């Protein structure tokens, strides 16, 4: 018997989907982000503070200048959206508003293209248990095809929270880790750049809001990298990627 897209799965199934308990990122009303659990696990106990970028693979992945990420909807997404009374237009709306939250700091452009795509937007059944629910999952910069995954629980939130959730996931796509990566995610390497303060879109709960500092730090980071004024952060090399279709 098939589960409905709203049905909960067992804790055992849930645990096979999620990272280990100590790396679960539970926030707000038992919401979970799993994007930051991607990458290779390496010890990292440096005491650094500021904007956090991913270095879990031994380098810091960021996007090259003038990169366009082509995207398309997964072919089966409408079957999943129909019971939710949502459409592709609804997703485009919250996605575009999430991009706009980053303003001129957004380091890449997005273009819908069903043929030469770099990532798909897809909708999967809810992943919920006593730990909470996953709302969305994204990816870090790389030269390959990937997915931005949404879950039905996302659409139970207010539109403002939906937009903030996608803005948070876009931060990961831009190469950013969670604010608290140096505290509770030390198994995945990260380096810090900019101004470190808990009130940021890359934090959780009530402190997860887009701030002028988020925007200015990301813009400064990419401006310095693209102008070749910095090639490393705290000794970790920066590696720039073009999108899959541009390689």
DSSP output for 154-201: GGGS-HHHHHHHHHHHHHHHTTB--TTHHHH-TTB-EEEES---S-ST
Residue from 163, 104, 118 nearest 136 by CA: 163
Over the chain (247 residues), the average pLDDT of each successive run of 10 is: 34 40 47 54 34 70 96 94 94 97 95 96 88 87 94 94 92 76 38 51 65 86 92 85 94
Structural domains in the chain, CATH included, are: 11-35+42-246 (3.40.390.10)
DSSP sequence for 224-242:
HHHTTS-SEETTEEEEEE-
pLDDT value of residue 174: 94
Distances in Å between the Cα of 211 and the Cα atoms of 24, 32, 45, 78, 208 are 25, 22, 27, 34, 9
pLDDT at residue 27, as a whole number: 45
In this predicted structure, what is the pLDDT of residue 43?
32
Q: What is residue 72's predicted lDDT score, i.e. its pLDDT? A: 98
pTM above 0.85, yes or no: no
Please tell me the distance from the alpha carbon of residue 34 to that of residue 16, in angstroms, as a whole number.
13
The predicted structure's pLDDT at residue 235: 78
* Count of CB atoms situated within 10 Å of the CB of 204: 19
Q: Can you give the pLDDT at residue 178?
A: 55
User: Looking at residue 111, what is its pLDDT?
Assistant: 97
The CA distance from 201 to 236, in Å, is 24
């Amino acid at each position: 018997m098939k589960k409905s897209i709203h049905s909960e799965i067992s804790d055992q199934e849930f645990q096979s989907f999620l990272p280990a308990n100590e790396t679960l990122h539970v926030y707000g009303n038992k919401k979970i982000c799993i994007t930051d659990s991607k990458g290779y696990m390496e010890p990292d106990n440096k005491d650094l503070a500021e904007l956090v970028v991913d270095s879990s693979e031994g380098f810091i992945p960021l996007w090259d200048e003038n990169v366009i990420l082509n995207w398309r909807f997964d072919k089966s997404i409408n079957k999943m959206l129909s019971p939710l009374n949502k459409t592709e237009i609804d997703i485009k709306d919250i996605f575009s508003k999430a991009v706009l939250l980053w303003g001129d700091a957004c380091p890449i452009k997005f273009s819908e293209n069903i043929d030469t795509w770099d990532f798909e937007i897809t909708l999967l059944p809810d992943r919920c248990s006593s730990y909470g629910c996953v709302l969305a999952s994204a990816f870090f910069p790389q030269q390959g095809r990937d997915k931005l995954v949404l879950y039905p629980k996302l659409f139970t939130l207010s539109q403002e929270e939906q937009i903030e959730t996608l803005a948070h996931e876009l931060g990961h796509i831009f190469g950013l880790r969670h604010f608290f990566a140096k505290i509770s995610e030390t198994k995945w390497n990260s380096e810090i750049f900019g101004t470190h303060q808990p009130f940021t879109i890359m934090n959780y709960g009530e402190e997860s809001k887009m701030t002028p500092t988020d925007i200015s730090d990301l813009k400064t980071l990419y401006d310095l990298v693209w102008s070749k004024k910095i090639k490393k952060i705290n000794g970790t090399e920066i590696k720039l990627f073009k999108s899959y279709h541009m390689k």
